[in-house]
Homo-oligomer: A and B are copies of this chain.
Amino acid sequence: MPYPGVIGYNGAGFASEDDVSDARAIAGMIDALGGMKTGFHDKDFLLTWLHSDVEVRALVQTARILEELYKAGISTRVFESGLAVSNFRDKSTRTRFSFASATDLLGLCPSDLDEGKTQISHGETVRETANMISFLTEVIGIRDDLFIHEGHRYMTEVAGALDDGYRQGVLPQRPCVVNLQCDRDHPTQSMADLMHVAELYGGLENLRGRRVAMTWAYSPAYGKPLSVPQGIITLFTRFGMDVTLAHPEGYDLLPETLDVARRHAAASGGSFSHTHSMADAFRDADIVYPKSWASFRIMERRVELLKKKDMKGIDDLEKECLAENATHKDWECNEPMMARTRGGKAHYMHCLPAEISGLNFPEGEVAMSVFDRYRIETYREAGHKPYVIAAAILNCRFEDPAAVLRKVLDRRVPRRGV
């Protein structure tokens, strides 16, 4: 019973006494989770490909259980106190609120490390700060996606500092680090995307053989991270899907992630292919994910210029990029393009915000008529993210998340009401 319908929510803040079957359904999901052997405990959630298949499945299962408990109005507060520190080194709306929602849902107190307000600007080292903010902290969520080769490195540096602090008795617990987007992966996004497609098709086991087009799309903006396409090709290939990556020449991803995608496809019985034609990728696709990004070679040059503080060089690079982008305005997800997909009815996905031609930009990633048709689907896609984050915390911070969730279900504390 992979994706049961939404469990009845009686509006009074908790499931009615005779919702026995709902409770049984959730209990079954928890039992299934309990059967999965993972090595998450006291680890971090940084890149999905650092985790085994069963860990990825356990994360999805945990997130689904949290969703069902939420809809059933059952409190999933499992911490009485503890900070949930977020460190956004780039702008964010949806991930910021997803992190706050997720951590509050578990009983933690979201607390933003606004580096402008702190002494990090005084030359304080990462190692020291990581410990100083962690004395009573259970999770640190980090977004660091502006510089290629930097974001993941920074997160592992924080993680290493926490390991050291915990081992040496500085920290009474080891907070987990959750990647809220780096230069390599955007795992809470890709996992939410995975839950979305699983819901569309009735379960992870029904994804085998689905054709996915992860494609570049035109945008008048510059320098978007590579983490979303890298996250999709590495994750979706695990489930037997036929994933095609498409982009104009020069918009390459990090080679490492293509290697991971190939390896995953081989292991799962799916496939991974690579093309420079959007039209080819869309042909007979079940799912399309058209999205703008910069090439990693451009990002590398940008980092070098930044290190040299060559602002003139950066301006020139930006102009060069935008001019190059502008030669690919035909990479738009429009009606003729959608008509090439399976039955003309592929599912359109996007991490949002999308750049919609004629709405927020004259020309963008997607035609307005296409986006409008799938708008609500993209909102639902985004709606999984808070649960993915909460699920990552539960798995990283508890040795036996299933046991914790079983108690949550048994105590039946209403999330709202008295």
Contact = CB atoms under 8 A, between A and B. Distances in A.
A137 B94 CA distance: 13
A107 B105 CA distance: 11
How many copies altogether? 3
A170 B379 contact: yes
A37 interface: no
A376 interface: yes
Contacts of A383: 135, 170-171
Given A100-B111, A132-B382, A383-B135, A416 B82 contact: yes
A103 B360 CA distance: 34
Interface residues on A, range: 35 or more
Interface stretch (A24-32, A71-79, A292-300, A333-341): A71-79
A3 interface: no
Nearest to A382: B132
A97 B168 contact: no
A138 B416 contact: yes
A376 B170 contact: yes
Contact of A379 (B79, B91, B165): B165
A251 interface: no
Given A79-B416, A416-B79, A85 B97 contact: yes
Contact of A93 (B76, B79, B120, B359): B120
A417 interface: yes
Contacts of A6: 169
A35 interface: no
Nearest to A221: B122
Nearest to A411: B418
Nearest to A384: B135
Interface in A89-133: 91-94, 96-98, 100-102, 104-107, 109-111, 113, 117-125, 128-129, 131-133
Contacts of A417: 78, 398, 404, 407
Given A170-B383, A380-B170, A382-B132, A109 B117 contact: no
A9 interface: yes
A222 interface: no
Nearest to A168: B376
A353 B136 contact: no
A267 interface: no
Q: Which of A81, A111, A125 has the most CB of B within 10 A?
A: A81
B399 A416 contact: no
A79 B76 CA distance: 12
B97 A133 contact: yes
Interface string A375-418: 01001101101100000000001110000100110010111111
Contacts of A82: 104, 415-416
B71 A105 contact: no
A343 interface: no
